[in-house]
Structure 1
Amino acid sequence: MYGLIGRMLVVDGRREELLAVLLEGSAPMPGCRSYVIARDPGSDNGIWINEVWDSREQHQASLHLPHVQATIARARSMIAGFDQRFETEPLGGIGI
């Protein structure tokens, strides 16, 4: 399995709007076992995204899905950047 944990930074005052866009754009993706979007309680402009995939290749392929491309297009102006990114090798657990 392939895991990805990243912290996205949001343009000032647009976190809730971006969270809504990301949650609305969440739809089943081949090979995705878990996709969790969360507020960073320590930052008004931080969002954590935690993903678990069957493989790195399926994660990469997901970026080309029409609904993912549409969500990225809607979200782009609200994203200030990414400041942390961790790749993991999930072994199992609840919900995956």
Structure 2
Amino acid sequence: MERRTFIAGTAAAAALGSAASAAPAGEPMFGLIGRMLAKPGERDALVKILLDGVADMPGCLSYIVAEDPENADAIWITEAWDSKESHAASLSLPAVKAAITKARPLIAGMDNGHTTRPIGGHGLK
């Protein structure tokens, strides 16, 4: 299963709080937003897997995992990358592959994710 599919119904296994520099001038950043559903009672364990070992993903500007306050089994994942290529390269990282393998049994489903083009904001340079 691809990380993009894993993480956001399009996008994850995947990540938080890495702060690299933004894309070079003129090159668009790459973003993903999606909702994942954990099996009942497994959300906390799934979140922990998604957050472990995500600081060393080259090109990852932001990887946010958030609880859905209206659904005890749902999480939202928002990613910002310096480029689409950096995101694609992250799929081959051993830590990402391991997270996907470990998290897969805890996932009940995923909504369709959405690709975005971040243009700026707090935390993005």
Question: How does the TM-score come out when normalised to structure 1?
Answer: 0.94
RMSD: 1.0
Counterpart code for 1:22: L
Which residues of 2 match residues 12-91 of structure 1 at below 5 A?
12-91=40-119
Determine if the alignment matches structure 1 residue 92 to structure 2 residue 120. yes
Looking at both structures, which has the greater relative contact order when contacts are Cα pairs under 8 Å and sequence separation is at least 6?
Answer: 1
Gap regions ≥5 residues in structure 2 = 1-28
Gap regions ≥5 residues in structure 1 = none
Task: State how far apart, in whole Å, the 2-side matches of 1:26 and 1:33 are.
Answer: 11
3-state SS in 2 of match to 1:84: coil
Task: State how far apart, in whole Å, the 2-side matches of 1:87 and 1:23 are.
Answer: 21
Task: Tell me how many residue pairs correspond in the alignment.
Answer: 96
Q: 1:84, CA displacement in angstroms? A: 3.3
Question: How does the TM-score come out when normalised to structure 2?
Answer: 0.73
More strand by share: 1
